[in-house]
Structure 1
Amino acid sequence: MGGHEKTYRDATGSLLLPRIIRLDDNLYGAAFTLMKLVPARHILLKAEESGLLGPNTEVVETTSGTFGLALAMQAALMKRRLTLVSDPVIDPALHRRLVDLGARVEICAHPADVGGFQQARLDRLDRIRAERPDTFCPEQYTNPDNPASYTVVAEHLESTLGELDCLVGPVGSGGSMCGTARALRATRPGLRAIGVDTPHSVLFGHPDGSRVLRGLGNSLMPGNLDHREFDEIHWCTAAEAFAATRLLHRSTALFQGPTSGAAYLVARWWARRHPDARVVVMLPDEGHRYQDTVYDDAWLAARGLAGAPPEQPVEVVDPTRPSDVWSRYAWGRRSLGQVVGAAAGELIA
């Protein structure tokens, strides 16, 4: 390993693993500086080692959030050209940071008729790759190296906490929760996995719709999402997630983003209902990007998003019908087809 190579590997490697923090009697938080560094770093380094990233290969990807930031950080250290395709919801502070790291950011101004901005971004990405023959796309939604990269996180959790009974975390691409749960179940098959989504995300049966809460949920079904890994699913609204993010900050001093707040709301409820279980919750990124939004009382009030987090979820019997409050469904490690079919009264093998 050359000196330059070791430098950029160690720079991102030092931020890779989460801090493990006790949040309650039986609840622990895995607090990441930037969780998406785990797959971004793993995928790019593996691509370079395998030859998929040649000397002049440009990295291209679609993103509106932290995976793009993670790629920009890693690409800067590897001296790689990077083009990111995003949309108008990308926040200005993130956009500035991506550009400062050397990334080229292309904005899709209009959503696709089907699949919204995510499909529009994918279409633009396809055109870029057709125009530029020497490119590499990490493809976070379908690349199996995304969930596989979280083996290192599972090993860290086991070595720090020992045997775990329940893993809670937000779901977007499916990589972090599916990869971590799968690795933990190699030695602890009874581990419960609880996914946190948001209403009007298609991931667990809802029809696609407008969503205020970003960083979890999806308008398209990612190939890396294995529904059979999940024991139960919770849907949290933006207002509930924002309130829980502020509660997490006030009660533990952890300064995290709203996906962490949503996961904390669910994990705290579940851990208190199961006091003999050892529970860990994935807290994906820090709160610096949200100081002018989630952490601003005036911003919340102006949008009708202020308030206290609820104490418990509403149980739903049909996961295809979005609720306007925090809701919960016993998924039972079934495929999407099995669950949707059961909700419709159909028998699906």
Structure 2
Amino acid sequence: MSTTGTTGTTDASVAANKAAGAVMTTVDVDRSDAEYRAWLNEAVRKVQADANRSADTHLLRFPLPEAWGIDLYLKDESTHPTGSLKHRLARSLFLYALCNGWIRPGRPVIEASSGSTAVSEAYFAKLIGVPFVAVMPRTTSPEKCRLIEFHGGTCHFVDDPMKMYEESADLAARTGGHYMDQFTYAERATDWRGNNNIAESMYQQLRLERYPEPAWIVATAGTGGTSATIARYVHYMQHDTRICVPDPENSCFFDGWTHGDPHASSDCGSRIEGIGRPRMEPSFVPGAIDRMMRVPDAASVAACRALERAIGRKAGGSTGTGLWSALKIISEMVAQGRTGSVVTLLCDPGDRYLDKYYSDEWLAAQGLDIAPYEKTIETLLETGDWREPTA
């Protein structure tokens, strides 16, 4: 038996010598490799340089009646180089994996993803020169698939979203690659105490606003890493801000949080790409957040379209889910006579979903009627009253 990169005896022979009562010699395991370390240093430099080249993302205002004394902001993560909130996550995951020695030259990085994370990870894989494979549901939007391939990645489809995890791990084992596993590592790869994470950025940008400490931050959950980062930062900095996580249909997060059930699950995938999961993901941290809302998919789409009418920007369904919840919170503040600010996220651009959330044909095929939800938003913005949609 031999072990590459070791000197002296192997673990097996050490055990045998111990059993025989033999005199032991020093075992010195040296896995350093000058060529690998040079590659690693250059890979880390390239990923860090990407962050250094990027300006901060904008904080956009959503117009509300001045008399309310409430400001609503959207943190526009669609302006990242790969066009979504997941660019931050992918950068953190790559640095984490590189510094742990998990990514190796020439070996593929493999990820289970419903789209946007895979787009961003394909970008960073190409940046450091390793292959990338995205394991995704077959229903993932064609535009996201095109973007993954544009950045040099390969799409590997599964019919059952619950099979993504197992298939990703199997692919990594077969190829000698690394399964990135965003759903496990998202909450730990990002420095939640600062280092220009998304929460620190929000508070810096609000410094000169009339309500610099928001009453609420609304963050949707896919991995759960963003909501965990924001909530931890808020607690660490002792802010009085509350954290709300909206959850779409066909996701188990709301039920798991409500009932304290870490084994909650759903038997079908979310129609709102990027958020909602069929299982309680390891990166979702229920104890860190203050409130959850179950948001109908039709409400998410109605809010997407309301955003376009209000500020002229198309956004994805996850943005609509967050915006719907933010508007409901604002209606409660209006009813209570409270003033303050609310922040939510513009997660990715709507041009990735023109054939879905902006297609009346797709809505009809899905049996989604957004008219009652559009009416709720219109009534709120006109009168300040929140009237629950009726069929």
**Pairwise CA distance, 1:88:** 1.0
- Write the letter of the residue equivalent to 1:263: G
Q: Is the 8 A contact 1:196 1:262 kept in 2?
A: yes
1:98 correspondence with 2:148: yes
Query: 1:19 is matched with which residue: 58, 74, 91?
Result: 58
Cα 1:302/1:87, change in 2 over 3 Å = closer
Corresponding residue for 1:297?
Answer: 360
The residue that corresponds to 1:311 in the other structure is 376
Which residue does the alignment assign to 1:29?
A: 74
Deviations 1:119-162 (A, max 9, x none): x11111222222223x2222111114345369411111111113
Contact residue 219 and residue 244 of structure 2 kept, 8 A: yes
Q: Which residue of 1 aligns with 2:271?
A: 212
For the pair 1:250 / 2:309, whether they are aligned, the reply is yes
**Is contact 2:131–2:153 with CA below 8 Å preserved after alignment?**
yes
Which of the pair has the greater relative contact order for Cα pairs under 8 Å at 6+ separation? 1
Q: Could you say which residue in structure 1 is the equivalent of 2:170?
A: 127
Offset of 1:43 from its aligned partner? 1.6
> CA, structure 1 residues 285+14, in 2 after alignment: closer, same or farther (shift >3 Å)?
farther
Deviation at 1:10, TM superposition (A): 4.1
How far off its partner does 1:307 sit?
Answer: 2.6
**What does residue range 1-349 of structure 1 map to in structure 2 within 5 Å?**
9-11=48-50, 14=53, 17-23=56-62, 24=64, 25-33=70-78, 34-109=84-159, 111=160, 117-118=161-162, 120-133=163-176, 135-143=177-185, 144-148=187-191, 151=194, 152-161=197-206, 162-205=212-255, 208-210=266-268, 211-274=270-333, 275-308=338-371, 309=373, 311=376
Q: Is the 8 A contact 1:72 1:82 kept in 2?
A: yes
Task: Look up the SS of the partner of 1:205 in the other structure.
Answer: helix
The letter for the 1-side match of 2:327 is R
Root-mean-square deviation (CA), in Å? 2.6
Larger radius of gyration between Structure 1 and Structure 2: 2
Structure 2 vs 1, CA of residues 27 and 262 (structure 1 numbering), >3 Å: closer, same or farther? same
Equivalent residues of 1:213, 1:237 under 8 A apart = no
Deviations 1:12-69 (A, max 9, x none): 6555743101113421111111101111111212332443323233211111221111
Following the alignment from structure 2 to structure 1, what is the Cα–Cα distance between the partners of residues 91 and 278? Answer: 25
Q: Figure out how many residues of one structure are paired with residues of the other and give that number.
A: 306
- Contact residue 203 and residue 218 of structure 1 kept, 8 A: yes
**Deviation of residue 70 (structure 1)?**
1.0
Q: Indicate the larger mover: 138-147 or 63-72.
A: 138-147
Quote the offset at 1:254 in angstroms: 2.5
Question: Among the aligned pairs, what percent are the same residue?
Answer: 22
Structure 1 SS opposite 2:358: coil
Post-superposition shift, 1:287?
Answer: 0.9
Looking at structure 2, the residues matched to 252 and 47 of structure 1 have their Cα atoms a distance apart, in angstroms, of: 38
Deviation at 1:245, TM superposition (A): 0.3
SS at match of 1:195: strand
Amino acid at match of 1:283: L
8 Å CA contact retained: 2:115, 2:145? no
Q: 1:179 Cα shift?
A: 0.9
Mapped to 1, the partners of 2:247 and 2:353 lie a distance apart of: 19
Q: Which moves more between the two structures, 241-250 or 3-12?
A: 3-12
Q: Which has the higher helix share?
A: 2
Provide the residue aligned with 2:25 in structure 1. Answer: none
Rounded to whole Å, the distance in 1 between the matches of 2:98 and 2:234 is 28
Inter-partner Cα distance in structure 2 for 1:150 and 1:32: 20
Secondary structure class of the residue paired with 1:148: coil
Amino acid in the other structure paired with 1:21: L
Whole-Å separation in 1 of the counterparts to 2:47 and 2:289:
35
Offset at 1:301? 3.7
Deviation (angstroms), 1:87: 2.2
C-alpha deviation, 1:183, in angstroms: 0.8
**AA in 1 matched with 2:60:** I
